[in-house]
Chain A
Amino acid sequence: MKSAPRKSSKKSASKKRGNLKGSFEARLRDAISVVDVANQLTLPLTNSIENLLSIAAKDVGSDTASVLVREGTRGGLKFLVALSDVADELKKVRIPPGKGIAGLVFSTGQPMAVADVSKEGSFWSEADKRTGFKTVTLLATPLRTGSEMVGVLEFVNRPGEPPYDPFSPEEMDRAAHFADAIASLVEAHETAGLIETLFARSLDASLNESGGREVREWVKRVRSAPEHKDLLQLAVSLRDIASRGDAERQLCRDILDSLARWTEKHATISTGYLSF
């Protein structure tokens, strides 16, 4: 007589696989939440950089300004934010390692001002060639957080028509103070981008062709699910309240701590969806 345990071992193996699959799905769902919430919390970073750049440009007396960030590991740069009529075109420009004034400042770590780049000698400017913009006078200062060079802050030209007064040492010093603040924002932006890229690459790398399609569809469904959207809206509200000031941030912390303690006690709310 065939023993019952055989059937039940099949059942338990299948149940185990189901549990494992469920557990993997839950973890993947959590990972998506973390990435998407992180993105919501850091999306306004670009806006903050733009706002600060605008204030810096006015203070330094320049017409256009931009933030270039590192690309790759060999010292290349790209435009993250540009206050310019040709901002969209600039964002497509890539600056090879060590090239141009920005590349130079990035590699030497020394701020530099050039009175008139157009006068004589070579001036590498893929940016000018691509956009039709004409750089006349320029101030570039490195963006540095602690020991890391994360980019370059550039101020170009003055309002009105040339000839322009060159950037003065005092303006250079003021630019350095703005660079300090902008560098922290750039670093946070970079970290958020890395999280998103790593997650996307891990997902792609770990799946085969057919499995990949299925899981991508599943990820799409997770992201469009109402509870996921609720979560992101909560993150946005939290961000908005917390950005109003220290008191608001402390209040958010206090409320969330109380809520966390309450949910632990009552354990009626599922915590599978949100875990940082």
Chain B
Amino acid sequence: MARPRAVKAAKDLWGTITPDTTWKGRTGRGVRVAIIDSGIDTEHPALKGKITESVEAISEGGRIVFRRSTAGDVAGHGTACAGIITTVAPESEIYSVKVLGPNASGSGEMFLAGLDYAIKQRIHVINLSLGTTKPEYFGPLHDLLDRAYHAGCIVVAAANNLPQPSYPSIFSSSLVSVVKREGGDPFNFGFRYGQVIELIAPGVQVRTTWPGGGYRQLTGNSFACPHIAGVIALIMEASPDLTPFQVKTILYTIAQRNQANEDQHKQAS
């Protein structure tokens, strides 16, 4: 009678995946999170002491190299993402990889190089609140994501709002892609299995850090992505050896619970 036993085993397996067993009480300690973006304002009061390393992509002799960066963040994007991640996972180790801004002009090559750098450093969670629609980067990004998977790095990427597909967010199989929704609870995320962009997380009027010591209320998929990156950091603290596939399974299971709770709440009211 294998079938009933298999069903029972499956129920028990999913039954063990709860917020209590995955992230409750966790702070992201020991988990390394890279933000590949415009840099981070490391002097911001909310971020001071939380940025483990800050590097910047520089073109040198025809190659892209990474040097220690004191350039901060003139754009704000990276600082905003860092603020969200440190709110969700306050003790995670943040690595800033600056590939955007006046000196790192945001070329596709720098973007790829930044991702490559983070993978080589074996960063646990990589936040990509940006993307490209250039078809010539489809292949290289696909290869990089495969390498990330095999290196145990979980890549979290923001979708874009526009009709054209944006890479790497559409590579659903090898990363966690995120789109925004309203609501402030980072743990109340949704999972749209079968859609190209699978996770939905808070990304509307998100109050977060901004260069110069201030804060902004921002809306965009860019700010939904770091919510999920932070949640994954908490999950990884509890279970450091999870593969991206296993992490997505956990996210999916929790999202199903969130949906069930929401439906129950609606029915009750």
Which A residues have a C-beta under 8 Å from some C-beta of B?
74-75, 96-99, 101, 103-104, 107-117, 119-122, 124, 141-142, 144, 146-148, 166-169, 172-173, 176, 179-180
Q: Are B130 and A110 in contact (CB under 8 A)?
A: yes
Q: Are B204 and A110 in contact (CB under 8 A)?
A: no
Which B residues have a C-beta under 8 Å from some C-beta of A?
37-38, 74-77, 100-102, 105-106, 129-136, 158, 160-164, 166, 180-182, 203-205, 210-222
Interface pairs (21), CB distance under 8 Å: A98-B38, A104-B75, A107-B130, A108-B106, A110-B77, A112-B218, A113-B219, A115-B216, A120-B214, A121-B211, A121-B214, A122-B211, A141-B161, A142-B160, A146-B164, A166-B205, A169-B180, A169-B181, A169-B204, A180-B162, A180-B163
Q: Of A75, A101, A119, A167, which contacts B105 at CB under 8 A?
A: A75
Once A147-B135, A169-B182 are accepted as A-B contacts, the answer to whether A111 and B220 lie under 8 Å apart by CB is yes
B182 to chain A: which residues have CB within 8 Å? Answer: 169
Q: Are B219 and A99 in contact (CB under 8 A)?
A: no
Q: How far is the CA of A166 from the CA of B162 in the complex (A)?
A: 20
Once A146-B133, A173-B161 are accepted as A-B contacts, the answer to whether A99 and B215 lie under 8 Å apart by CB is no
B38 to chain A: which residues have CB within 8 Å? Answer: 98, 104, 107-108
A119 to chain B: which residues have CB within 8 Å? Answer: 214-216
Q: Give me the 9 closest cross-chain CB pairs, A-B, nearest first.
A: A121-B214, A122-B212, A120-B214, A115-B217, A107-B106, A113-B219, A121-B210, A98-B101, A108-B130
Once A96-B102, A98-B106 are accepted as A-B contacts, the answer to whether A121 and B216 lie under 8 Å apart by CB is yes
A142 to chain B: which residues have CB within 8 Å? Answer: 160, 162
Q: Are A116 and B217 in contact (CB under 8 A)?
A: yes
Q: Are A97 and B106 in contact (CB under 8 A)?
A: yes
A116 to chain B: which residues have CB within 8 Å? Answer: 216-217
Q: How far is the CA of A225 from the CA of B44 in the complex (A)?
A: 65
A176 to chain B: which residues have CB within 8 Å? Answer: 161-163
A166 to chain B: which residues have CB within 8 Å? Answer: 205, 217, 219
Q: Are B162 and A144 in contact (CB under 8 A)?
A: yes
B181 to chain A: which residues have CB within 8 Å? Answer: 169
Q: A51 to chain B: closest CB distance in Å?
A: 22
Q: Are A179 and B162 in contact (CB under 8 A)?
A: yes
Once A109-B132, A110-B220, A111-B220 are accepted as A-B contacts, the answer to whether A103 and B214 lie under 8 Å apart by CB is no
Q: Of A75, A111, A144, A148, which contacts B106 at CB under 8 A?
A: A75
| Most chain B beta carbons < 10 A, residue from A97, A110, A124 | A110
| Most chain A beta carbons < 10 A, residue from B102, B130, B181, B182 | B102
**Closest chain B residue, CB of each to CB of A99:** B74
Since A99-B102, A104-B77, A115-B218 are in contact, a sample of 17 more A-B pairs with Cβ atoms closer than 8 Å, ordered by chain A residue number, is A96-B102, A98-B74, A98-B106, A104-B100, A109-B131, A109-B166, A110-B130, A111-B161, A112-B218, A113-B218, A115-B216, A116-B216, A120-B214, A122-B214, A168-B219, A172-B219, A173-B161
A117 to chain B: which residues have CB within 8 Å? Answer: 216
B130 to chain A: which residues have CB within 8 Å? Answer: 107-110
Q: Are B162 and A107 in contact (CB under 8 A)?
A: no
**Closest chain B residue, CB of each to CB of A100:** B75
Once A110-B221, A112-B218, A166-B219 are accepted as A-B contacts, the answer to whether A147 and B134 lie under 8 Å apart by CB is yes
Q: Are A121 and B215 in contact (CB under 8 A)?
A: yes
**Closest chain A residue, CB of each to CB of B223:** A112
Q: B137 to chain A: closest CB distance in Å?
A: 9
Q: How far is the CA of A144 from the CA of B164 in the complex (A)?
A: 9
Q: B129 to chain A: closest CB distance in Å?
A: 6
Q: B136 to chain A: closest CB distance in Å?
A: 8
Q: How far is the CA of A146 from the CA of B136 in the complex (A)?
A: 12
Q: Are A114 and B216 in contact (CB under 8 A)?
A: yes
B180 to chain A: which residues have CB within 8 Å? Answer: 169
| Most chain A beta carbons < 10 A, residue from B76, B158, B160, B210 | B76
A147 to chain B: which residues have CB within 8 Å? Answer: 132-136, 164
Once A107-B100, A146-B133, A147-B133 are accepted as A-B contacts, the answer to whether A112 and B222 lie under 8 Å apart by CB is yes
A168 to chain B: which residues have CB within 8 Å? Answer: 204, 219
Q: How far is the CA of A152 from the CA of B135 in the complex (A)?
A: 21
Q: Of A108, A141, A180, which contacts B129 at CB under 8 A?
A: A108
Q: Are B101 and A107 in contact (CB under 8 A)?
A: yes
Q: How far is the CA of A30 from the CA of B161 in the complex (A)?
A: 44
Q: How far is the CA of A51 from the CA of B63 in the complex (A)?
A: 45
Q: How far is the CA of A146 from the CA of B162 in the complex (A)?
A: 11
Q: Are B75 and A99 in contact (CB under 8 A)?
A: yes
Q: How far is the CA of A74 from the CA of B106 in the complex (A)?
A: 8
A74 to chain B: which residues have CB within 8 Å? Answer: 105
Q: Of B101, B102, B129, B216, which contacts A110 at CB under 8 A?
A: B129
Q: How far is the CA of A142 from the CA of B131 in the complex (A)?
A: 12
Q: How far is the CA of A178 from the CA of B150 in the complex (A)?
A: 41
A144 to chain B: which residues have CB within 8 Å? Answer: 133, 162, 164
Q: Are B101 and A121 in contact (CB under 8 A)?
A: no
**Closest chain A residue, CB of each to CB of B206:** A115
B162 to chain A: which residues have CB within 8 Å? Answer: 111, 141-142, 144, 176, 179-180
